[in-house]
Each structure stands twice: as C-alpha cells, then as structure tokens.
Structure 1
C-alpha cells in the first residue's frame, strides 16, 4: 500500500527503490528495525477524528466525524508522503526516511497536522449533531 502511494506516473520499480533506500537509511541512522520505525510512525500519525464540511440551511459547518482505523492509516500514509515531498533535501528516499524518523519520535510536520485536525474537531464539537 505504501509503495502504491509513493508511485508516480506508473513507475513502480522507482517507488520500490525509494522505499528500500529510505529503509536502509533509517536502519543506518537509528540502529533499529526500519519496519518497527515505519509502524511506529504510522501509528503516531493516524488520526482518530476528522472534520467534514456539511451544508445546513445555507451555512457550512465543519462537522467532526470519527474515522475507522483503515481510513486513518490511509490518511496517515498520505500525510507522511505529502510532508516528505514538501521537505527540502536531496532525494525522495532521504526525505521520506527523515520524515518517518521524525514521526516515530513524535515531532515533525505530520504530527503537527494530526494535532491540528484533532483541535479542529474539538473546536467544532458543538456541530456533531449534524452528522
């Protein structure tokens, strides 16, 4: 699933190379199992709730909605890859490895995005009855 999200323009072999190079880089830098770091990063980034725009009587409300674990994981992977692409650096493997290590350590742009989503849901809790 991660490889298919990395994929651009149908170049799957390049996506595999990016993933394997980033895993190798994580292993060299942290001296830990890179799959453990990957799982930990995804677990820490996965959101529990999100907000969805609902239009009621001419007004648009941001309604907080709980999301399932599969949808949360997909969102977490999408956020991780998006933050990796925006990160300044040499190549995608390098950027992805640093983003995963940051997320596993509970800091970085992706963690901030998750917290922002949770704050938005908490602030709009009054509109939960519009589900």
Structure 2
C-alpha cells in the first residue's frame, strides 16, 4: 500500500444506554445525516421490544445484543479468479465485519417489513432475530450454506 492505514476514530457512547455499539447501530441506521432521528427510531424500537418482551429477566439492550449475535455470520464467500475461472471461496470473517454485517442485515430487513413506522419494523425484526427467526437470520443461514457448498474451493484461499 502507498499510504498508511487510516486510524479508527473513537466512537462516543450513546446518551441513553452509554454503549458504543448502539452508536455504531445508529450510524448505520442514519440517513441524510439525521443522527437524532436515528437515535429516536432506535430508542422507540427498544421501548417496543421492552413492551413485547416475554423474557422479563433480560433488558431490551440484552435482547438487541442477542439478536445481533444470532444474525452475525462466521464465514462468507469471496470471489477469486484462478486461471480464467471465478471461484467462490469460503473465508472467515473479521470480528468487526461480523458486527457490521449483522447490523446492516438487521436494518435492511427491518426496512423491508410491512408495518407502520420504522421503530415498529425494527422492534419486530429484533424480536424475531432474538428468537432465531426472521429474514435477517435466514440471510445468515443462506450465507453459511453458500460457504459450506463451496468448501471444496477453500484451498484457493488468498
């Protein structure tokens, strides 16, 4: 590489839960630079999760973290050209990328839900993911199946 690797900027924790992971999630949820709106949507979704929660021992933040861990993929396939042919090679995922992919999928499939507000959609997807169901968990399962079916090409690893 010609330049030095860019340093990671420190994230400030969010105001309510005092957690930097929540700040990362709000940054992914944000559109057009409206961070306060992203926080509002997230906090409303957490209130809905708290209301609809069947397991009273767990807080809404613990349920959200459980949902994220249920969505997190462990392997993914990457394309690699070898001798004119393109192979899908299964590879381990770095821990920070796992978190990013889980957040991205949770937000993507929450936006695709058919409910009134984004807070409702997000709350429903979080509760579904915490129970290991829903579209985001299906995406993780599909990603793992794809890696499993291409395991024969793992010797092409780069």
Q: Same fold (TM over 0.5)?
A: yes
Provide the rounded CA distance (Å) in 2 between the counterparts of 1:75 and 1:112. 13
Aligned to 1:26: 49
Q: 1:99 aligns with which of 125, 134, 137?
A: 125
Provide the rounded CA distance (Å) in 2 between the counterparts of 1:16 and 1:110. 21
Aligned to 1:113: 139
Q: Secondary structure at the match of 2:132?
A: coil
- Displacement of 1:118: 0.4
TM-score by length of 2: 0.81
Gap runs ≥5 in structure 1: none
Provide the rounded CA distance (Å) in 2 between the counterparts of 1:40 and 1:85. 20
Aligned to 1:69: 95
Structure 1: 4+ residue segments shifted above 6 A: none
- Displacement of 1:33: 1.1
Aligned to 2:110: 84
- Displacement of 1:95: 0.2
Q: Secondary structure at the match of 1:60?
A: strand
Q: 1:40 aligns with which of 66, 71, 88?
A: 66
Q: Select the structure with the greater relative contact order (CA < 8 A; seq sep ≥ 6).
A: 1
Aligned length: 131
Q: 2:150 aligns with which of 118, 124, 127?
A: 124
Q: Max radius of gyration: which structure?
A: 2
Gap runs ≥5 in structure 2: 1-23
